[in-house]
Every structure is written in structure tokens, then in C-alpha cells.
Structure 1
């Protein structure tokens, strides 16, 4: 009887041990399966994230921050109007370059520069890059205008894709560096020098350029009536001299002759006041383009504004007065 009980106890203990072992094995297997699925899920999530990041990097492959815009308006050679991606309209003034005037004032090669900018940009999508200063005193955006996003910032990319630079090396613009926007100033200086050395664009008509107050302006209406409509602006001074000579030799009364002679003088004074001269942040004199005192900074203003603000002419570069 005792042996039978012992056997029963042994069997019961054996069965319990087997059950415990089985339960423990299933638990481990479940745990192992659970743990083994985690790396797979993590890998899948990581792969999905990498693909997303890769796509994002492809869309923004440019090494600089750019704002996409469409050119919807044209002003002149160095100013355009754009519609930004948020639907807002803004005027954009190109940084680092200055084209001859073609709006309220007409300088030689101004019309050509204006037409070139319009032909290259109007209706197209561009990419705007800002510098340290974002707007000018007129509220215009100060920007570098890229025709397409650059893949790197080097001379070849700038020469091929940045419209500011394209204007410079094709001779449509002179360099105009105003602090603090100087990121690409050295490139503009080089490109303008190349255009000047090769007599391209505005450098072909005047070795000193035409945007720095050199006295070139549109002829008066009285002069136009005595010249053919196709006459070049470079002949304006000779035409004016001829007109005055004819007036002096006229058989008209002295009062009529005097009135005719006064007209060019009044027009010349008005034109002089609208000429562009340059001042510095700390100086008290105004200068002509290329003056050695403009090496660090140059701020363009009209001659009339310079005089009204108390600036006096530089004795070194002898600017217009």
C-alpha cells in the first residue's frame, strides 16, 4: 500500500514537472518571437524614414536657402516684380549690380539692359536668395536671383545660373556693393572687370560706364527736333553745340536768341541734379564712381539729395556739381 502511494506521488510530481517545463518553453518562444519582430518593424520604419528624408533632400538639393517666385512684372534692368509662393506681390532689386537708368532718367544702354532683363526673366520661375540686409529704403526686396537652384556655390554655377552675375559679365551692369550685402561682391567685381576689358555692353560706349553720374542724359525736346529720330545719344553734346551756334548766328531779335540759349542751360542744371553720385557711411563728401574713397562702402544718391544733405564734392575724383 505504501509502495502504491509512493508511486502515485512520483507520477504526480513528474506530471507537474513536465507541465511547468512546457509552460516555460512556450513563454520563452512567445518572448523570442515578440523580440524578433521588433527589429524587423524598426528596420522597416527606419527604411521608410530614410526614403522620406532622401526625397526631401532631393527636392531641396541646393546648398543655400531659396524662395521660389514667378516674375510677373518688369521695371528696368535691375528691378523686377514677382509673385511669391504665398501669393504676395513684391518688387525685387538685384543685389550687387546697377544697370543704366531707363525709367525717369535715361542713360545710354539703359534701354538695352531693361529689355534684356525682361526677355530673360518675364513670366519665368526664379529662385530668390537674400543676404544680411533684406529690403531697401523703398521697401523692395534685396535679392540674388537664380534662374535655377545651384548644386554648389562656385564660380561656374554663379556665372551660369545667377542673373545678377549674368548682367555683370555681359556688360549690362556695373558693380554696386553696399554693406552689409557683400556675399558675392568679389565675383561681381571680377565679372565686371572682364566685361570692361572686353568692351562688352555698356563698356563699349563708355570706358567709365554709364550709371555713375558721368553726365550722360536724354537730349531735350528742342534738340530732338533738330536731329533725326535715329541719332545716337553719343552725338548729343555735338548736337547741342550746333544748336547754340545756329542760335548765335540767327537774324532773330536778341531777346528771342537769348531765350533759345537759356533752354539747354536750364535742362542741363535739372539733369545734373538727378545724376547719381556716391557717399560713404561716415564721410561728408560725395564722389564719382571709382573714387578711391569708395573702396569700403558706397551709397548711391542723386546729386540734388547729396547737396541738400550737406555733402560737398570730393576734390580727388571731381564729381559733377
Structure 2
């Protein structure tokens, strides 16, 4: 095989691998708004510094047991869910991805949250590990089926709140 053909084949192979790697990374940390977590409120709510503005962010598609809701007693597994959320995102850089509605009636940003460092999809991780249940509120339903599948698996394997509560 002529040298020019070998070089062309090598360049094509490298280009294919580079494109696949870029696609994998874009799946893990999609485009959106980036910021730093400044405070974890509970299992499904955080504060994020977005370009100098402190925003309260509520995770889309999930609900963790209540630990700080006024007038509501602390629910089973609430403290563990909050602590796990702190471990996942406390002080971390995150990327927020939005669905159809960007804010709820309380003015909180509604987002799918990803850790920038490793691309962990936080909403999904909390459901998968049994720290959260699914909560589908149309029109924000992009990952509703995925969350439902993760919840079924967590329940079947008695992970987290599915064993404790």
C-alpha cells in the first residue's frame, strides 16, 4: 500500500475515534448553563452561582423525601437524600440543562443537572441509587421514561428509600 494511502487511512481512523469521543462527552455533559454549587438545600434543590447571580435550582423529574419544607415533618430517608446530594454536587461545577418550562411557580430554575468534572447526570443518579422518586410534571418530560426505568430498578433491588421506608 502506498505511503499516501496509509496516511489517509490513519487520519480517517483518528478522525472517527475523535468524533466518537466528542459525541460521548456531549452526551455526558450537554450544552447548557454552567455554574458552581454554593449550597445544597435538600435532596432535590441546590443554589448555583450563575455568573455572579445566586439561583435556586430544583431538579426536574424527581422528588426526594422532604427535610426542610415548612409545616412538613422530616420524612423517611430525607436526611440521607440531602447528604447524598451534598456528596454529589456540594461545591462542584455543574451544567444545567433546561426543558420546556425554565421556572416553577416559586421562581426556581428547573433543570437537569450534570457534574462538569465527570458528566454524572445527577437527577438520574439520585433515582438510580434510591434517594429519589420520579415526579413527572408536564411539560418537562424529556427524561420521564428513563427516570421511570431507573426507579423500577431501584425498587426491584431495594436500593435506598425502597429498603428503608
TM superposition score category, shorter chain reference: 0.7 to 0.9
- TM-score, normalised relative to structure 2: 0.78
Pair 1:162-2:121 in alignment: yes
Query: For 2:96, which of 128, 153, 177 is the aligned residue?
Result: 128
Alignment partner of 1:96 is 2:64: no
Higher relative contact order (CA 8 A, sep 6+): 2
- Deviations 1:150-190 (CA, angstroms, capped at 9, x unpaired): 9xxxxxxxxx7200000001000000000000001111000
TM-score, scaled relative to structure 1 = 0.41
Structure 1 stretches of at least 4 aligned residues deviating more than 4 Å after TM superposition: none
Alpha-carbon contact 1:70-1:124 (below 8 Å) kept: yes
**Which residue does the alignment assign to 1:111?**
79
Displacement of 1:149? 8.0
Structure 2, unpaired ranges of 5+: 1-21
Aligned residue among 151, 157, 160 for 1:198: 157
Structure 1, gaps ≥5 residues long: 1-57, 151-159, 207-321
Q: CA RMSD in A?
A: 1.8
Point out the structure with max Rg over C-alpha: 1
Offset of residue 120 of structure 1: 1.5
Write the deviation string for residues 21-58 of structure 1: whole angstroms up to 9, x where unpaired: xxxxxxxxxxxxxxxxxxxxxxxxxxxxxxxxxxxxx8
Q: Which has the higher strand share?
A: 2
Deviations 1:61-107 (A, max 9, x none): 736431111000111000000101x2111000000000001113300
| Matched-pair contact (CA < 8 Å) for 2:36–2:49 | yes
Match of 1:70 in 2: 36
Instruction: State the alpha-carbon separation in 1 of the partners of residues 120 and 82 from structure 2.
Output: 19
Superposition deviation, residue 148 in structure 1: 2.9
Q: Which has the higher helix share?
A: 1
CA distance in structure 1 between the aligned counterparts of 2:155 and 2:91, rounded to whole angstroms: 30
Q: Which residue of 1 aligns with 2:133?
A: 174
CA contact (8 A) 2:93 2:117 kept: no
1:87 aligns to what? 52
Question: Using the alignment, how far apart are the partners of 2:117 and 2:81 within structure 1?
Answer: 24
SS at 1:76 equivalent: coil
Deviation at 1:136, TM superposition (A): 0.4
Distance 2:38 2:131 in 1: 21
- The separation in 2 between residues aligned to 1:109 and 1:80, in whole angstroms, is 18
